[in-house]
Structure 1
């Protein structure tokens, strides 16, 4: 029986509130900075209450020309980031599902060797793979393209491993029942395994979407055309070098806007995300 102690409840809530405040305070400062003029932000001390320039700054961030160190606005960059994140997410999940399905349910030579070869790629840091990958993409003529931004990032050893572990928990009776009913391998995959995996797919969708949205190093190497800048690169381009003044109010407004899509995905899929992680643990 759990002993409920009032002081322990108060302490746990206090710790949670302090943790939320620590995490949320930088976001609050970014929002406050996005509602003031650039001159007001650089003053000491910086204002801690929202200002009267919210609509003006966000309009300039979304549609203003020349504020990003380029002629491309945030709306277009958000679209590039969205397409990149969606393609990476859907591609990772589809390839990982099929890879795990083949490893668990098919017998072929060197099956475990193939699995461990996939798994060992997790031990290779990005820096080791990025230059050979760039050379391949450049020779295939995929620089400054959606294919170049997404295809090198579309495989996932982690997702393959998670789906494999889940498929191993599926009872053999389901396989036998499907075989008796005359269902082929792909019918069993489509009608049985994919519906059973929907919570794991939802959890991975959230994780991989945020991963694709926040990509910085690979797009930085891949894109030389302003039309293919994702929003993360756009924020970097806003930070002028040398002694040039930085419009910090526009930078912060752009950062807040860039956080909205991944935050919306997390909030809308929170229930499925938590359920998918719990089911994966089982």
Structure 2
């Protein structure tokens, strides 16, 4: 940090370390609990160091099946949740970028009316439209399907607005130059707009992937079979009101496995994520 004394730097680093410890300790404690037996967890205090049940607990959860969720293993839950998160993130970006492209670069009657209709949906929470959406899914026979889990969540007014605002910053001279070179709308979109939008797409992908991964209400309504549950729904089902009826060691394993994919996405894409949020000149 420029312009700070040594004591100020030490103080800032100390505050940062304390903040990291406060945030990371519950995650570490969850991991420690996932490596101990059920009896050790139910007999406080829980040790602060990992135990010797790591391989047994994780293999049981991943491949052995968990009784409270119908014998479904966590690998199935992770697959379901990954499909849902990827489909929602990719679907939202695909629909939003095409919508913004049409609104900004095409001149057709009612263009701004349709944009404001999309924008107004930002003020409508999911709970407002969840019953009619559920009725549509039932009528179409999409309950307990990946389509039913993902399709109603793919439209995104927020992403459309962000892409529209970015497209408005593109100089008109660039559009005219592409037109003079004989580039049609699809070529202009594919060869010019997409490369310019890659940091925005990356930032939105991270946000939307986590949004899809942590969905609770809609998967709870649209799935009845245990093997179609997402990992967040399964976690709720695994916890009983009585501690003795809950396999806490497997719950902790599931918690650890549930937070790993979002963390990996953020870590692997953090550079693109930051650039997409703060970069103003493409």
Q: Which bracket does the TM-score occupy, shorter chain normalised?
A: over 0.9
- Count of residues in Structure 1 that have an aligned counterpart in Structure 2: 281
Task: Indicate the residue corresponding to 1:227 in structure 2.
Answer: 227
Structure 2: 5+ residue runs without aligned partners?
none
Structure 1: 5+ residue runs without aligned partners?
none
Deviation >4 Å, runs of 4+ = 241-244
CA, structure 1 residues 281+222, in 2 after alignment: closer, same or farther (shift >3 Å)? Answer: farther
Task: Indicate the residue corresponding to 1:237 in structure 2.
Answer: 237
How much does 1:46 deviate?
2.2
Matching of residue 65 in structure 1 with residue 65 in structure 2: yes
Asked whether the equivalents of residues 210 and 262 of structure 1 are also in contact (C-alpha less than 8 Å), the reply is yes
Question: What secondary structure does 1:205 align onto?
Answer: helix
Asked whether the equivalents of residues 34 and 250 of structure 2 are also in contact (C-alpha less than 8 Å), the reply is yes
RMSD of the alignment, in Å?
Answer: 1.6
Task: Indicate the residue corresponding to 1:147 in structure 2.
Answer: 147
Asked whether the equivalents of residues 96 and 159 of structure 1 are also in contact (C-alpha less than 8 Å), the reply is yes
| Correspondence list, 1:196-235, <5 A | 196-235=196-235
Matches of 1:222 and 1:59 in 2, distance apart?
A: 29
CA, structure 1 residues 98+58, in 2 after alignment: closer, same or farther (shift >3 Å)? Answer: same
Asked whether the equivalents of residues 69 and 226 of structure 2 are also in contact (C-alpha less than 8 Å), the reply is no
Asked whether the equivalents of residues 93 and 205 of structure 1 are also in contact (C-alpha less than 8 Å), the reply is yes
Of 106-115 and 152-161, more deviation after overlay is shown by 106-115
Asked whether the equivalents of residues 65 and 74 of structure 2 are also in contact (C-alpha less than 8 Å), the reply is no
CA, structure 1 residues 281+63, in 2 after alignment: closer, same or farther (shift >3 Å)? Answer: farther
How much does 1:241 deviate?
4.7
Matches of 2:10 and 2:124 in 1, distance apart?
A: 45
Asked whether the equivalents of residues 91 and 154 of structure 1 are also in contact (C-alpha less than 8 Å), the reply is yes
Matches of 2:153 and 2:253 in 1, distance apart?
A: 29
How much does 1:42 deviate?
2.0
Matches of 1:224 and 1:189 in 2, distance apart?
A: 41
Q: List per-residue Cα deviations over 1:104-127 (Å, max 9, x = no partner).
A: 111122222211211111111221
Structure 2 length as normaliser, TM-score? 0.95
How much does 1:183 deviate?
1.0
Asked whether the equivalents of residues 97 and 160 of structure 1 are also in contact (C-alpha less than 8 Å), the reply is yes
Task: Indicate the residue corresponding to 1:183 in structure 2.
Answer: 183
Asked whether the equivalents of residues 122 and 158 of structure 2 are also in contact (C-alpha less than 8 Å), the reply is yes
Asked whether the equivalents of residues 166 and 280 of structure 1 are also in contact (C-alpha less than 8 Å), the reply is no
Structure 1 length as normaliser, TM-score? 0.95
| Correspondence list, 1:1-282, <5 A | 3-241=3-241, 245-279=245-279
Matches of 1:244 and 1:281 in 2, distance apart?
A: 58
How much does 1:222 deviate?
0.4
